A and B are shown apart, each in its own frame.
Chain A
């Protein structure tokens, strides 16, 4: 079956622009997670969705970052007024109900802010 799909795979943007990153989880997976992987900080948790609600958004680094999930499926991570320090690989993961500890990851979106 299809795995977690993320688009675009690469995104280059100019400082100050807004970007949207998309994640399509594995069918039937009710939980969805966003992480960020950067050279300086390693892998960091950003936000967790259960269905369409986000019970844990403690990892979002600033109010420029937001995420939503509609229909219990696709999620969009939005970064407003991008900064160079936002350059990273943004990873999405999903998991089955009752097995939220076992997360399956997509290939990520590499964001470069010039």
Chain B
């Protein structure tokens, strides 16, 4: 069985400051890793994914995440946040050998203030 832990339920940060949202997973087999973002009253949007290859993945809006197999982590980072980044962020995992169901963390609420 796999599980996903997002260590911070809320992260307040000032505009233009850097941010890191933490995600750890447990699995005995190879995994695929995802970050989804949910803006207020909207559905989930895929932010970035790690399927294979380079362990550092980037999104079009400045976020990046690094797959660290030894630490079983997939932390999300952005060097300078905007007010518009305020949203709920979910880390998700699926296992390579057991179908495609996504197992989500509890989510981290990112609040960016001026």
Contact = CB atoms under 8 A, between A and B. Distances in A.
Interface of A: 4, 31, 33, 35, 42-45, 48, 55-56, 58-59, 91, 93, 95, 100-108
B100 A33 contact: yes
Contacts of A93: 44
Interface string B84-107: 000000101010000111111111
Interface of B: 32, 34, 36, 42-46, 49, 51, 90, 92, 94, 99-107
Contacts of B90: 43
B19 to A, nearest CB: 21
A45 B103 contact: yes
Main secondary structure of the interface of B (DSSP, over half): strand
A35 B103 CA distance: 10
A107 B43 contact: yes
Given A91-B43, A101-B94, A107-B43, A35 B107 contact: no
A45 B32 CA distance: 16
Given A45-B102, A56-B100, A95-B100, 20 more contacts: A33-B100, A42-B104, A43-B90, A43-B92, A43-B102, A43-B104, A45-B103, A58-B101, A91-B43, A91-B44, A101-B32, A101-B100, A102-B46, A102-B49, A103-B102, A104-B46, A105-B44, A105-B45, A107-B42, A107-B43
24 contacts: A4-B43, A31-B100, A33-B101, A35-B102, A35-B104, A42-B104, A42-B105, A43-B90, A43-B107, A44-B104, A45-B103, A48-B99, A48-B100, A56-B99, A56-B101, A58-B101, A59-B101, A91-B43, A95-B100, A100-B100, A101-B32, A101-B100, A105-B44, A106-B43
